[in-house]
Homo-oligomer: A and B are copies of this chain.
Amino acid sequence: MNPNIKAVELEKAYRLLNHGPTVLVSASHGGVANVMSAAWACALDFAPPKVTVVLDKATATRRLVEDSGWFVLQVPNVGQLDLTYQLGHTTLTELPDKLARAGANLFRMDGFEAPLVEGSSAWLMCRLIPEPHNQQTYDLFIGEVVAAWADERVFRDGHWQFEHADPRWRSLHYVAGGHFYAIGEPAIVKT
């Protein structure tokens, strides 16, 4: 495993999503693994940390989340721009080698079945909190974050280090039609 991957304290896990990045959602069940990108993911609580993510009924990943009860949200970076776009615009149903085509390599963390995507900046391991009404009516899924990790080259001491890291580590923020923005410079309140 990449030696730069370090555990993130659970009480600071919300900071991995607080600035609103586009994420990759991964899950596996019955020997099938998949990953999709999602702009609609959000922190929901601090302690225990919870998240929301919107998973359309047409996605193969949604089915894996429902069947396994687990998913991973990972924060991709500018170095994964093409991968992030491709994972959001192809479907495993039509392209069985979707992951290979997008260049997505998976790994696992001890104690967890759900797969993680190599090269990302951060990972949140989430246990699904079943809420059938939200899932059916709004495609809205809620998870409790039970473990989190980040690459210390871009997140350490409980803070993103975008301004100190290589630009390829900047998080991606999707708009539409293949257009993302990378996260920019710090704006710090003088208190």
Tell me, rounded to whole Å, the shortest Cβ–Cβ distance linking A125 to chain B.
Answer: 20
In the complex, A176 has a CB within 8 A of chain B: yes
B188 & A179 in contact (Cβ 8 Å cutoff):
yes
Question: 28 A–B contact pairs at CB < 8 A?
Answer: A18-B39, A18-B173, A18-B176, A19-B39, A19-B174, A19-B175, A19-B181, A20-B21, A40-B43, A41-B42, A43-B54, A44-B140, A45-B54, A81-B187, A82-B190, A85-B189, A85-B191, A158-B176, A159-B179, A160-B175, A170-B184, A173-B173, A178-B188, A178-B191, A180-B188, A181-B186, A183-B183, A184-B184
Q: A15-B175, A20-B173, A182-B184 are in contact. List 16 more A-B contacts (CB 8 A).
A: A19-B39, A19-B174, A20-B21, A20-B22, A20-B39, A81-B189, A138-B142, A159-B176, A159-B179, A160-B175, A170-B184, A170-B187, A172-B187, A179-B188, A181-B185, A182-B187
What are the residues of chain B within 8 A of A183 when measuring CB–CB?
Answer: 173, 181, 183-184
Alpha-carbon distance between A178 and B133 when the two chains are bound, in angstroms: 36
Q: Which of A50, A133, A189, A191 has the most CB of B within 10 A?
A: A189
Alpha-carbon distance between A188 and B178 when the two chains are bound, in angstroms: 6
